[in-house]
Amino acid sequence: MKPVGPIPAGYQSKDGQIAVAGHTARDLVEQGGATPLFVYSREHLTKRVGDLRATMPDRLKINYAIKANPFAPLLKHMAGLVDGFDIASGGELAMAQAAGLDPRAISFAGPGKRNEELEAALRAGVTLNLESENEARRALAIGERIGAVPRMAIRVNPDFELRGSGMKMGGGAKQFGIDQARVPALAKEIIAAGAEWRGLHIFTGSQALSAEAIIEAQANVIDLADQLASEIGQPLPKLNMGGGLGIPYFHGDEPVDIAAIGAALDKRFSNLPANLADTDLCIELGRYLVGEAGIYLTEIVDRKESHGSTFLVTDGGLHHQLAASGNFGTVVRRNYPSAIATKYDSEPSEEVNIVGCLCTPLDRLADKAHFPRAEVGDLVVIFCAGAYGATASPADFLGQGAAREILV
Ligand SMILES: *Cc1c(COP(=O)(O)O)cnc(C)c1O
Protein backbone atom coordinates (compact mmCIF):
# COMPACT_ATOMS: atom_id res chain seq x y z
CA MET A 1 0.00 0.00 0.00
CA LYS A 2 1.13 3.54 -0.73
CA PRO A 3 -0.48 6.54 0.96
CA VAL A 4 -2.22 9.25 -1.04
CA GLY A 5 -1.64 12.94 -0.31
CA PRO A 6 -3.78 14.91 2.15
CA ILE A 7 -7.23 15.95 0.90
CA PRO A 8 -7.49 19.75 1.06
CA ALA A 9 -10.00 21.40 3.41
CA GLY A 10 -13.34 22.57 2.10
CA TYR A 11 -14.71 19.45 0.36
CA GLN A 12 -17.93 17.90 1.62
CA SER A 13 -19.77 14.71 0.91
CA LYS A 14 -23.37 14.46 -0.25
CA ASP A 15 -25.34 11.31 -1.09
CA GLY A 16 -22.14 9.30 -0.63
CA GLN A 17 -20.28 11.36 -3.24
CA ILE A 18 -17.78 14.19 -3.06
CA ALA A 19 -19.54 17.54 -3.43
CA VAL A 20 -18.34 20.99 -4.49
CA ALA A 21 -20.52 23.97 -3.54
CA GLY A 22 -23.37 21.55 -2.84
CA HIS A 23 -23.15 19.73 -6.19
CA THR A 24 -22.32 16.02 -6.17
CA ALA A 25 -19.69 14.57 -8.50
CA ARG A 26 -22.41 13.16 -10.79
CA ASP A 27 -24.21 16.54 -10.89
CA LEU A 28 -20.96 18.27 -11.74
CA VAL A 29 -20.31 15.88 -14.62
CA GLU A 30 -23.81 16.55 -15.89
CA GLN A 31 -23.18 20.30 -15.70
CA GLY A 32 -19.79 19.96 -17.38
CA GLY A 33 -21.21 17.65 -20.06
CA ALA A 34 -18.68 14.80 -19.84
CA THR A 35 -15.60 13.43 -18.15
CA PRO A 36 -12.71 14.10 -17.85
CA LEU A 37 -13.64 17.33 -16.13
CA PHE A 38 -11.90 20.02 -14.08
CA VAL A 39 -14.14 21.68 -11.51
CA TYR A 40 -13.04 24.94 -9.86
CA SER A 41 -14.86 26.43 -6.89
CA ARG A 42 -15.59 30.17 -6.61
CA GLU A 43 -16.26 29.82 -2.91
CA HIS A 44 -12.90 28.13 -2.35
CA LEU A 45 -11.03 30.82 -4.31
CA THR A 46 -12.76 33.65 -2.46
CA LYS A 47 -12.08 32.12 0.94
CA ARG A 48 -8.46 31.43 0.09
CA VAL A 49 -7.69 35.00 -0.90
CA GLY A 50 -9.73 36.36 2.04
CA ASP A 51 -7.91 34.18 4.58
CA LEU A 52 -4.55 35.22 3.16
CA ARG A 53 -5.42 38.92 3.28
CA ALA A 54 -6.57 38.56 6.86
CA THR A 55 -3.13 37.28 7.91
CA MET A 56 -0.91 39.57 5.80
CA PRO A 57 -0.15 43.25 6.45
CA ASP A 58 -2.74 45.53 4.77
CA ARG A 59 0.05 47.16 2.85
CA LEU A 60 1.03 43.93 1.05
CA LYS A 61 -0.62 43.58 -2.34
CA ILE A 62 -1.44 40.13 -3.64
CA ASN A 63 -0.93 39.29 -7.29
CA TYR A 64 -2.03 36.18 -9.12
CA ALA A 65 0.48 34.48 -11.44
CA ILE A 66 -1.94 33.36 -14.11
CA LYS A 67 0.19 30.59 -15.55
CA ALA A 68 -1.09 28.42 -12.69
CA ASN A 69 -4.57 28.49 -14.21
CA PRO A 70 -5.73 30.84 -16.97
CA PHE A 71 -9.28 29.44 -17.40
CA ALA A 72 -11.23 32.55 -18.46
CA PRO A 73 -14.12 32.37 -15.93
CA LEU A 74 -11.61 31.71 -13.14
CA LEU A 75 -9.49 34.71 -14.21
CA LYS A 76 -12.57 36.94 -14.15
CA HIS A 77 -13.34 35.74 -10.64
CA MET A 78 -9.73 36.27 -9.53
CA ALA A 79 -9.70 39.77 -11.05
CA GLY A 80 -12.26 40.74 -8.41
CA LEU A 81 -10.19 39.28 -5.57
CA VAL A 82 -6.52 40.14 -6.16
CA ASP A 83 -4.61 43.39 -6.70
CA GLY A 84 -2.81 42.45 -9.89
CA PHE A 85 -1.89 39.72 -12.35
CA ASP A 86 1.54 38.46 -13.31
CA ILE A 87 1.81 37.19 -16.85
CA ALA A 88 4.61 35.44 -18.71
CA SER A 89 3.66 35.57 -22.40
CA GLY A 90 1.76 37.56 -25.01
CA GLY A 91 -0.96 34.91 -24.87
CA GLU A 92 -1.38 35.48 -21.16
CA LEU A 93 -1.46 39.23 -21.79
CA ALA A 94 -4.51 38.74 -24.01
CA MET A 95 -6.14 36.54 -21.35
CA ALA A 96 -5.43 39.07 -18.58
CA GLN A 97 -6.88 41.89 -20.67
CA ALA A 98 -9.98 39.83 -21.47
CA ALA A 99 -10.51 39.28 -17.74
CA GLY A 100 -10.93 43.04 -17.40
CA LEU A 101 -8.04 43.87 -15.12
CA ASP A 102 -6.47 47.35 -15.30
CA PRO A 103 -3.27 46.93 -17.39
CA ARG A 104 -1.45 49.08 -14.85
CA ALA A 105 -1.95 46.23 -12.38
CA ILE A 106 -0.34 43.70 -14.74
CA SER A 107 3.36 42.85 -14.88
CA PHE A 108 5.03 40.75 -17.55
CA ALA A 109 7.98 38.54 -16.55
CA GLY A 110 9.46 35.56 -18.39
CA PRO A 111 12.56 35.00 -20.51
CA GLY A 112 12.50 35.16 -24.30
CA LYS A 113 9.90 37.87 -24.84
CA ARG A 114 9.52 38.36 -28.60
CA ASN A 115 9.36 41.83 -30.15
CA GLU A 116 5.64 41.40 -30.93
CA GLU A 117 4.99 40.54 -27.28
CA LEU A 118 7.01 43.53 -26.07
CA GLU A 119 5.09 45.80 -28.43
CA ALA A 120 1.70 44.48 -27.29
CA ALA A 121 2.74 44.95 -23.65
CA LEU A 122 3.96 48.52 -24.26
CA ARG A 123 0.78 49.43 -26.12
CA ALA A 124 -1.32 48.00 -23.29
CA GLY A 125 0.71 49.85 -20.63
CA VAL A 126 1.67 46.80 -18.59
CA THR A 127 4.95 46.76 -16.66
CA LEU A 128 7.80 44.77 -18.18
CA ASN A 129 9.86 42.80 -15.69
CA LEU A 130 13.04 42.83 -17.72
CA GLU A 131 14.94 39.57 -17.96
CA SER A 132 18.08 40.80 -19.76
CA GLU A 133 19.92 43.88 -20.99
CA ASN A 134 19.12 42.84 -24.55
CA GLU A 135 15.42 42.71 -23.76
CA ALA A 136 15.60 46.15 -22.12
CA ARG A 137 17.20 47.69 -25.21
CA ARG A 138 14.75 46.03 -27.60
CA ALA A 139 11.83 47.29 -25.51
CA LEU A 140 13.24 50.84 -25.35
CA ALA A 141 13.64 50.87 -29.15
CA ILE A 142 10.08 49.59 -29.65
CA GLY A 143 8.77 52.21 -27.20
CA GLU A 144 10.50 54.93 -29.18
CA ARG A 145 9.15 53.62 -32.48
CA ILE A 146 5.52 53.46 -31.32
CA GLY A 147 5.66 56.56 -29.11
CA ALA A 148 5.00 54.80 -25.79
CA VAL A 149 6.88 55.40 -22.54
CA PRO A 150 7.82 51.89 -21.34
CA ARG A 151 6.94 50.97 -17.77
CA MET A 152 9.96 48.95 -16.69
CA ALA A 153 11.02 46.92 -13.69
CA ILE A 154 14.04 44.64 -13.48
CA ARG A 155 13.82 41.03 -12.52
CA VAL A 156 16.80 40.30 -10.31
CA ASN A 157 18.61 36.98 -10.23
CA PRO A 158 19.57 37.09 -6.55
CA ASP A 159 22.68 35.38 -5.18
CA PHE A 160 20.45 33.49 -2.71
CA GLU A 161 17.48 31.20 -3.17
CA LEU A 162 14.39 30.04 -1.32
CA ARG A 163 15.46 27.02 0.75
CA GLY A 164 13.40 23.88 0.28
CA SER A 165 11.50 25.16 -2.73
CA GLY A 166 10.14 22.65 -5.22
CA MET A 167 11.45 24.61 -8.18
CA LYS A 168 14.52 26.79 -7.81
CA MET A 169 14.34 30.00 -9.80
CA GLY A 170 17.10 32.12 -8.27
CA GLY A 171 20.70 31.75 -7.10
CA GLY A 172 23.66 30.94 -9.34
CA ALA A 173 23.56 30.70 -13.13
CA LYS A 174 19.93 31.01 -14.29
CA GLN A 175 17.94 31.88 -17.39
CA PHE A 176 15.75 34.13 -15.21
CA GLY A 177 16.42 37.75 -14.36
CA ILE A 178 19.63 39.75 -14.36
CA ASP A 179 22.47 38.89 -11.98
CA GLN A 180 22.16 41.20 -9.00
CA ALA A 181 25.58 42.82 -9.53
CA ARG A 182 24.52 44.10 -12.99
CA VAL A 183 21.13 45.48 -11.93
CA PRO A 184 22.15 49.01 -10.86
CA ALA A 185 23.88 49.77 -14.19
CA LEU A 186 20.86 48.64 -16.20
CA ALA A 187 18.42 50.52 -13.96
CA LYS A 188 20.39 53.74 -14.47
CA GLU A 189 20.47 53.12 -18.23
CA ILE A 190 16.70 52.67 -18.59
CA ILE A 191 15.91 55.61 -16.30
CA ALA A 192 18.27 57.79 -18.38
CA ALA A 193 16.54 56.56 -21.54
CA GLY A 194 13.22 57.95 -20.27
CA ALA A 195 11.44 54.77 -19.17
CA GLU A 196 9.01 54.93 -16.27
CA TRP A 197 10.98 53.17 -13.52
CA ARG A 198 8.81 50.57 -11.78
CA GLY A 199 11.34 48.97 -9.44
CA LEU A 200 12.41 45.39 -8.82
CA HIS A 201 11.06 41.87 -9.10
CA ILE A 202 12.89 39.32 -6.96
CA PHE A 203 11.52 35.80 -7.27
CA THR A 204 13.41 33.23 -5.22
CA GLY A 205 11.50 29.98 -5.66
CA SER A 206 8.26 28.07 -5.68
CA GLN A 207 6.33 25.39 -3.78
CA ALA A 208 7.91 25.90 -0.34
CA LEU A 209 6.02 24.65 2.71
CA SER A 210 8.43 25.94 5.37
CA ALA A 211 7.34 29.32 6.77
CA GLU A 212 10.81 29.73 8.21
CA ALA A 213 12.43 29.40 4.76
CA ILE A 214 9.93 31.86 3.24
CA ILE A 215 10.48 34.37 6.06
CA GLU A 216 14.23 34.12 5.56
CA ALA A 217 13.92 34.60 1.78
CA GLN A 218 11.60 37.61 2.21
CA ALA A 219 14.04 39.22 4.65
CA ASN A 220 16.87 38.69 2.15
CA VAL A 221 14.71 40.15 -0.64
CA ILE A 222 14.04 43.32 1.35
CA ASP A 223 17.73 43.71 2.25
CA LEU A 224 18.77 43.21 -1.36
CA ALA A 225 16.13 45.64 -2.64
CA ASP A 226 17.39 48.26 -0.19
CA GLN A 227 21.00 47.73 -1.26
CA LEU A 228 20.15 47.91 -4.98
CA ALA A 229 18.00 51.03 -4.49
CA SER A 230 20.98 52.71 -2.81
CA GLU A 231 23.26 51.75 -5.70
CA ILE A 232 20.67 52.98 -8.23
CA GLY A 233 20.36 56.19 -6.25
CA GLN A 234 16.56 56.44 -5.91
CA PRO A 235 13.90 55.06 -3.56
CA LEU A 236 12.07 52.08 -5.06
CA PRO A 237 8.61 52.73 -6.55
CA LYS A 238 7.69 49.06 -6.38
CA LEU A 239 9.04 45.76 -5.07
CA ASN A 240 7.59 42.46 -6.20
CA MET A 241 8.88 40.13 -3.49
CA GLY A 242 8.11 36.93 -5.40
CA GLY A 243 5.97 34.19 -3.95
CA GLY A 244 6.90 30.66 -3.12
CA LEU A 245 4.01 29.58 -0.89
CA GLY A 246 3.32 25.94 -1.64
CA ILE A 247 0.45 23.56 -1.03
CA PRO A 248 0.58 20.02 0.41
CA TYR A 249 0.51 17.46 -2.39
CA PHE A 250 1.96 14.38 -0.72
CA HIS A 251 1.54 12.25 2.39
CA GLY A 252 3.33 13.98 5.28
CA ASP A 253 3.23 17.48 3.74
CA GLU A 254 1.87 20.15 6.09
CA PRO A 255 0.20 23.40 4.99
CA VAL A 256 2.49 26.43 5.13
CA ASP A 257 2.03 28.52 8.29
CA ILE A 258 0.83 31.80 6.77
CA ALA A 259 0.20 33.35 10.20
CA ALA A 260 3.94 33.13 10.93
CA ILE A 261 4.77 34.72 7.56
CA GLY A 262 2.22 37.49 8.12
CA ALA A 263 3.60 38.23 11.59
CA ALA A 264 7.19 38.44 10.30
CA LEU A 265 6.14 40.77 7.47
CA ASP A 266 4.17 42.96 9.88
CA LYS A 267 7.27 43.37 11.99
CA ARG A 268 9.51 44.09 9.02
CA PHE A 269 7.05 46.52 7.38
CA SER A 270 6.90 48.58 10.57
CA ASN A 271 10.63 49.17 10.29
CA LEU A 272 11.53 49.51 6.61
CA PRO A 273 14.63 51.32 5.33
CA ALA A 274 14.12 54.80 3.82
CA ASN A 275 14.52 53.42 0.27
CA LEU A 276 11.40 51.32 0.82
CA ALA A 277 9.34 53.69 2.95
CA ASP A 278 6.84 54.49 0.17
CA THR A 279 7.37 51.40 -1.96
CA ASP A 280 4.44 49.51 -3.37
CA LEU A 281 5.02 45.99 -1.95
CA CYS A 282 3.52 42.83 -3.41
CA ILE A 283 3.80 39.07 -3.54
CA GLU A 284 2.84 36.94 -6.53
CA LEU A 285 1.24 33.56 -6.03
CA GLY A 286 -0.04 30.90 -8.36
CA ARG A 287 -0.73 27.48 -6.90
CA TYR A 288 -1.30 28.76 -3.36
CA LEU A 289 -4.34 30.74 -4.53
CA VAL A 290 -5.91 28.28 -6.96
CA GLY A 291 -4.39 24.80 -6.55
CA GLU A 292 -6.68 23.46 -3.85
CA ALA A 293 -9.76 25.10 -5.40
CA GLY A 294 -9.80 22.62 -8.26
CA ILE A 295 -10.54 18.91 -8.66
CA TYR A 296 -10.28 16.61 -11.66
CA LEU A 297 -12.99 14.03 -12.22
CA THR A 298 -12.42 11.04 -14.47
CA GLU A 299 -14.57 7.96 -15.08
CA ILE A 300 -13.47 4.36 -14.68
CA VAL A 301 -13.84 2.65 -18.06
CA ASP A 302 -12.19 -0.65 -17.24
CA ARG A 303 -11.32 -2.78 -14.24
CA LYS A 304 -8.72 -5.48 -14.78
CA GLU A 305 -6.32 -7.78 -12.98
CA SER A 306 -2.68 -8.46 -13.78
CA HIS A 307 -0.40 -10.73 -11.76
CA GLY A 308 -2.52 -10.21 -8.67
CA SER A 309 -2.80 -6.40 -8.98
CA THR A 310 -6.02 -4.53 -9.75
CA PHE A 311 -5.99 -1.76 -12.33
CA LEU A 312 -8.74 0.82 -12.62
CA VAL A 313 -8.40 2.35 -16.06
CA THR A 314 -9.89 5.82 -16.39
CA ASP A 315 -10.85 8.06 -19.31
CA GLY A 316 -8.38 10.71 -18.06
CA GLY A 317 -4.66 10.68 -17.42
CA LEU A 318 -1.37 12.48 -17.74
CA HIS A 319 -2.56 14.45 -20.76
CA HIS A 320 -4.55 16.54 -18.22
CA GLN A 321 -2.69 15.68 -15.03
CA LEU A 322 0.99 15.59 -15.91
CA ALA A 323 1.98 16.64 -12.40
CA ALA A 324 -0.19 14.01 -10.67
CA SER A 325 1.35 11.34 -12.92
CA GLY A 326 4.74 12.34 -11.52
CA ASN A 327 6.15 13.69 -14.78
CA PHE A 328 6.24 17.46 -14.11
CA GLY A 329 9.37 18.26 -12.13
CA THR A 330 9.30 15.42 -9.61
CA VAL A 331 12.12 12.92 -9.09
CA VAL A 332 10.23 10.20 -7.24
CA ARG A 333 6.58 9.61 -8.12
CA ARG A 334 4.22 9.85 -5.14
CA ASN A 335 0.44 9.78 -5.02
CA TYR A 336 -1.48 13.03 -5.21
CA PRO A 337 -4.51 13.33 -2.95
CA SER A 338 -7.18 11.25 -4.64
CA ALA A 339 -10.31 9.23 -3.89
CA ILE A 340 -13.22 7.37 -5.45
CA ALA A 341 -15.56 10.33 -5.96
CA THR A 342 -18.74 8.27 -6.10
CA LYS A 343 -17.82 6.15 -3.03
CA TYR A 344 -16.60 9.08 -0.99
CA ASP A 345 -18.06 7.89 2.31
CA SER A 346 -17.23 4.20 1.94
CA GLU A 347 -14.47 2.45 3.85
CA PRO A 348 -11.33 1.44 1.92
CA SER A 349 -11.41 -2.27 1.09
CA GLU A 350 -8.84 -2.97 -1.60
CA GLU A 351 -5.51 -1.91 -3.07
CA VAL A 352 -5.74 -0.55 -6.62
CA ASN A 353 -3.64 1.13 -9.25
CA ILE A 354 -5.46 3.97 -10.97
CA VAL A 355 -4.13 4.63 -14.44
CA GLY A 356 -5.05 6.80 -17.39
CA CYS A 357 -6.06 5.75 -20.90
CA LEU A 358 -2.79 6.61 -22.63
CA CYS A 359 -0.70 3.84 -24.12
CA THR A 360 2.38 4.58 -21.99
CA PRO A 361 3.46 3.22 -18.60
CA LEU A 362 4.01 6.84 -17.48
CA ASP A 363 0.24 7.33 -17.30
CA ARG A 364 -0.40 6.62 -13.61
CA LEU A 365 -2.72 8.56 -11.33
CA ALA A 366 -2.49 6.54 -8.08
CA ASP A 367 -0.21 3.59 -7.28
CA LYS A 368 -1.17 0.87 -4.78
CA ALA A 369 -3.80 3.11 -3.19
CA HIS A 370 -6.20 1.80 -0.53
CA PHE A 371 -9.70 2.68 -1.71
CA PRO A 372 -13.32 1.45 -1.48
CA ARG A 373 -14.17 -1.05 -4.20
CA ALA A 374 -14.97 0.80 -7.43
CA GLU A 375 -16.58 -0.46 -10.62
CA VAL A 376 -16.70 0.63 -14.23
CA GLY A 377 -18.75 3.85 -14.27
CA ASP A 378 -17.54 5.10 -10.88
CA LEU A 379 -15.72 8.43 -10.81
CA VAL A 380 -12.20 9.07 -9.53
CA VAL A 381 -11.27 12.47 -8.09
CA ILE A 382 -7.76 13.92 -8.10
CA PHE A 383 -7.35 16.93 -5.78
CA CYS A 384 -4.97 19.89 -6.02
CA ALA A 385 -6.00 20.12 -9.67
CA GLY A 386 -6.62 23.86 -9.73
CA ALA A 387 -3.03 24.73 -10.68
CA TYR A 388 -0.75 23.36 -13.39
CA GLY A 389 -3.37 20.89 -14.60
CA ALA A 390 -5.26 21.61 -17.80
CA THR A 391 -2.77 23.99 -19.41
CA ALA A 392 0.40 22.39 -18.06
CA SER A 393 -0.32 18.95 -19.53
CA PRO A 394 0.04 17.66 -23.11
CA ALA A 395 -3.68 17.48 -23.95
CA ASP A 396 -3.15 16.45 -27.58
CA PHE A 397 -0.88 13.51 -26.76
CA LEU A 398 -2.31 10.38 -28.38
CA GLY A 399 -5.08 12.43 -29.95
CA GLN A 400 -7.00 12.68 -26.70
CA GLY A 401 -7.79 16.39 -26.58
CA ALA A 402 -8.56 18.80 -23.78
CA ALA A 403 -10.60 18.07 -20.67
CA ARG A 404 -13.70 20.14 -19.97
CA GLU A 405 -13.53 22.81 -17.29
CA ILE A 406 -16.22 24.48 -15.20
CA LEU A 407 -16.28 27.08 -12.45
CA VAL A 408 -19.07 26.58 -9.92
C1 LIG B 1 5.46 30.37 -11.95
C2 LIG B 1 5.70 31.67 -11.31
C3 LIG B 1 4.93 32.05 -10.21
C4 LIG B 1 3.89 31.16 -9.59
O5 LIG B 1 4.46 30.06 -8.96
P6 LIG B 1 3.56 29.18 -7.96
O7 LIG B 1 4.47 28.13 -7.49
O8 LIG B 1 2.41 28.66 -8.75
O9 LIG B 1 3.10 30.09 -6.88
C10 LIG B 1 5.14 33.30 -9.67
N11 LIG B 1 6.05 34.12 -10.20
C12 LIG B 1 6.82 33.79 -11.26
C13 LIG B 1 7.82 34.74 -11.77
C14 LIG B 1 6.67 32.55 -11.84
O15 LIG B 1 7.43 32.22 -12.87
With a 6 Å cutoff on the Cβ, whether 99 touches ligand 1 is: no
Q: What is the mean pLDDT of residues 95-119?
A: 96
Collapse the DSSP code of 399 into the 3-class scheme (helix H, G, I; strand E, B; otherwise coil) and give the result. helix
When the pLDDT of each residue in the chain is averaged and rounded to a whole number, the result is 96
Residue type (1 letter), 387: A
Percentage of the chain exceeding pLDDT 90? 96
Residue type (1 letter), 166: G
User: How confident is residue 329, by pLDDT bands cut at 50, 70 and 90?
Assistant: confident
CA distances from 357 to 30, 43, 313 (A): 21, 32, 6
- At residue 167, the pLDDT reads 60
What secondary structure, in 3-state letters, does 205-223 show?
CECECCHHHHHHHHHHHHH
Q: Tell me: the pLDDT tens digits for 73-102?
A: 999 999 999 999 999 999 999 999 999 999
Does 170 have pLDDT greater than 90? no
Spatial neighbors of 134 by CB under 8 A, at least 6 apart, are none
- At residue 171, the pLDDT reads 66
Percentage of the chain exceeding pLDDT 70? 99
Domains in the chain: ranges and CATH: 12-40+292-407 (2.40.37.10), 70-285 (3.20.20.10)
Q: In what order do the strands lie in the sheet with 23-24?
A: 12-14, 17-20, 23-24
pTM for the whole structure: 0.96
Q: What is the mean pLDDT of residues 190-215?
A: 97
User: How confident is residue 168, by pLDDT bands cut at 50, 70 and 90?
Assistant: low
Q: What is the mean pLDDT of residues 7-17?
A: 97
How far, in Å, from the CA of 291 to the mean position of ligand 1? 12
With a 6 Å cutoff on the Cβ, whether 286 touches ligand 1 is: yes
Q: What is the mean pLDDT of residues 352-374?
A: 97
Which residue has its alpha carbon closest to ligand 1 atom 9? 286
Residue type (1 letter), 145: R
CA distances from 151 to 77, 139, 187, 190, 400 (A): 26, 10, 12, 10, 42
Does 246 have pLDDT greater than 60? yes
CB atoms within 10 A of CB 325: 25
Q: What is the mean pLDDT of residues 52-78?
A: 98
Q: Is 399 exposed, middle or buried (0-12, 13-18, 19+ CB in 10 A)?
A: exposed
Q: Which atom of ligand 1 is nearest the CA belonging to 246? A: 7
CA pair distance 335, 331, nearest whole angstrom: 13
Collapse the DSSP code of 360 into the 3-class scheme (helix H, G, I; strand E, B; otherwise coil) and give the result. coil
How far, in Å, from the CA of 348 to the mean position of ligand 1? 36
Q: Tell me: the pLDDT tens digits for 211-238?
A: 999 999 999 999 999 999 999 999 999 9
